[in-house]
Structure 1
Amino acid sequence: MREARMSAIGKGLRRRGRLMAQAVSPPRRNPDADPGSGPAPDPSWTAPIAPRLVPSPVFVLSSVRSGSTLLRVLLNSHSRIRAPHEMHLRTLHVRLSRSFSADAMRELDLDRAELEHLLWDRVLHLELTRSGKDVIVDKTPPNTLIWPRLHRCWPDARFVLLLRHPGAVVASLTERRQDPNPAAVRAEVLDYAERLDEARTHLNPHVITYEDLTADPEGVTRGLCDRLGVDWEPAMLDYGAQDHGTFRPQLGDWSETIRSGRVRPARTATPGVELPPRLRELAKAWGYPEEDTPTP
């Protein structure tokens, strides 16, 4: 009885101590809760570029529906070139979740953009290491929309512009969409075309067209291999004999045409597909005959 009474007294004293501690001490913060207030990061400061594991990756800049998956599998069939599915690097982000996180990173000469660049670089390096090859190519079409940031991330990156007649892109995109909005399709194609023309003007890209690629795959891939500093290989043209991973939506083209394993002729600009003046202007600047570009 005496031992039971002493145990009960001890429990009561411990409980009383906890209550007193709670009364005088602030509650512990949840590290995942609201980060709280703190000095805002200096928006004028930009972190210097950190060393890259992959110093000169290759980026194919193109509009959607321009044959970038075909170019990918031809390049991926080379013994030295790894061209994986679309990696969508621009959607990979870093979150600094506490008020002091930015300060801590700044002490390391890093900001959020540079942290994301390090992440992107690590992803490319990991994929390249896994492949056992030494040249990596990313052909994600939306990269075209952020080409200045890619150039900032990798100052020594190499760029390939893959062009296709805007009229053919509009027709292909319209066919692929369910219940397409013609005005929205033309606006999307124009956005890509404007960014492509900016890259064509400001970078020193290797420019090819989807029409030339399908008409003369050997000649076009030979020229591209020369630009990338690798020997051309005949196996590149037999891409169906190689493993290129899964063909499915969001990772590239998944149509029967690409699954066939053969290079098929490109469809030319569809007669009757009307283009706004700016798209006609860009098509002409890219060397497409005016007769292939219907006017509205």
Structure 2
Amino acid sequence: MSAIARGLKRRGRLMAQAVSPPRRTLDAIPAQRPAPPEPADAYVAPRAPRLVESPVFVLSSVRSGSTLLRVLLNSHSRIRAPHEMHLRTVHVRMSREFTADAMRELALDREELEHVLWDRVLHLELSRTGKDLIVDKTPPNTLIWPRLHRCWPEARFVLLLRHPGAVIQSLTSRRADPDHEAIRAEVLAYAEKLEEARLELPGAHVITYEDLTAEPERITRELCAYLGVPWEKGMLDYGEQDHGTFRPKLGDWSEEIRSGRIQAARQADPAAALPPRLAGMAKAWGYPV
């Protein structure tokens, strides 16, 4: 190799070293790792103002007479008790990665956005009817009562109880191919949340379906006193007023409720045994077991 070639080769090595530092130099530089993202649920928004400060929620199991109570209340000149509204199934979706940040700048998170939407639905229904007190009787509300209480700290709650054995019988008779174990589990889930509400909501008004059908005037008078409205005799003649469509998923749609008359509650079979946990709650509610 000529001296000129050797010189060019040596010059190329020096230029390469100048452009690319030795590997040990790169390895010595600590990696710049991005900071871990803040959890999406780390921010809890403050409570936004409500348009409806003190709504009323009827907490009950399914098949416990909540539709009857609804139409009695809806017959009052100041009370709006619409069909089951299923607020817990009304959700807000943040569809972009920056949406949560945008809402946080407005002091909102996903849960509070849902609360604002729920509140607006109640207010809109009141505005349409011209009444001043709204009652939602959707039975699955029972399963989320702590969230309803968090959403509306001034909300009032009516606990509508029925003998768990009678609820099981009613569900069983209405299903073409009843799964008895699943029915007992469903009734237990409602009963446990009702008992939780009974113990943790000391201001709640408790009534039973059996008493409501046996003494409707007394029970509705006491309920009106709790709600702060005068009792109206027309409440007992609910068939004289329009209460909307009676159909599945929005409440009871049976011939009994369509009749417009208050009918006696079907009693639990005294010979039917209850699972121990349900029996304990039935006893705590004053039912014979």
Fold shared, TM-score > 0.5 on shorter chain: yes
Deviation at 1:273, TM superposition (A): 2.5
Q: Is the 8 A contact 1:60 1:159 kept in 2?
A: yes
Q: Which amino acid aligns with 1:267?
A: R
Match of 1:266 in 2: 265
Match of 2:246 in 1: 247
1:166 aligned to 161, 164, 167, which one?
164
Once the two structures are superposed, what CA deviation does each residue of 1:180-215 show, in whole Å capped at 9, x if it has no partner?
011100000000000000000111210000000000
Q: Is the 8 A contact 1:95 1:112 kept in 2?
A: yes
Match of 1:102 in 2: 100
Q: Which amino acid aligns with 1:146?
A: I
Match of 1:180 in 2: 178
* Counterparts of 2:170 and 2:129, CA distance in 1: 33
Deviation at 1:44, TM superposition (A): 3.1
Q: Is the 8 A contact 1:247 1:254 kept in 2?
A: yes
> TM-score, length-normalised on structure 1?
0.84
SS of residue matched to 2:207: strand
* Counterparts of 2:271 and 2:42, CA distance in 1: 50
Q: Is the 8 A contact 1:171 1:273 kept in 2?
A: no
| Pairing 1:1-296 to 2, within 5 Å after superposition | 39-203=37-201, 204-290=203-289
- The ranges of structure 1 where at least 4 consecutive aligned residues each deviate by more than 6 angstroms after the TM superposition are none
* Counterparts of 1:147 and 1:44, CA distance in 2: 23
Q: Which moved more, 1:281-290 or 1:248-257?
A: 281-290
SS of residue matched to 1:110: coil
SS of residue matched to 1:161: strand
Q: Is the 8 A contact 1:41 1:102 kept in 2?
A: no
* Counterparts of 2:66 and 2:174, CA distance in 1: 16
Deviation at 1:178, TM superposition (A): 1.8
Q: Which amino acid aligns with 1:208?
A: I
Once the two structures are superposed, what CA deviation does each residue of 1:25-49 show, in whole Å capped at 9, x if it has no partner?
xxxxxxxxxxxxx945442321111
* Counterparts of 1:136 and 1:249, CA distance in 2: 22
* Counterparts of 2:173 and 2:211, CA distance in 1: 22
| Unmatched runs of 5 consecutive residues or more in structure 1 | 1-37, 291-296
Deviation at 1:126, TM superposition (A): 0.3
Q: Is the 8 A contact 1:48 1:109 kept in 2?
A: yes
Q: Is the 8 A contact 1:74 1:239 kept in 2?
A: yes
| Unmatched runs of 5 consecutive residues or more in structure 2 | 1-35
SS of residue matched to 2:50: coil
* Counterparts of 1:237 and 1:159, CA distance in 2: 21
* Counterparts of 2:40 and 2:237, CA distance in 1: 53
* Counterparts of 1:133 and 1:77, CA distance in 2: 11
* Counterparts of 2:255 and 2:40, CA distance in 1: 51
> TM-score, length-normalised on structure 2?
0.86
For these two proteins, the number of residue pairs brought into alignment is 253
Once the two structures are superposed, what CA deviation does each residue of 1:200-246 show, in whole Å capped at 9, x if it has no partner?
01112100000000000000000000000000000000000000000
Once the two structures are superposed, what CA deviation does each residue of 1:55-109 show, in whole Å capped at 9, x if it has no partner?
0000000000000000000000000000000000000000000000000000111
SS of residue matched to 1:159: strand
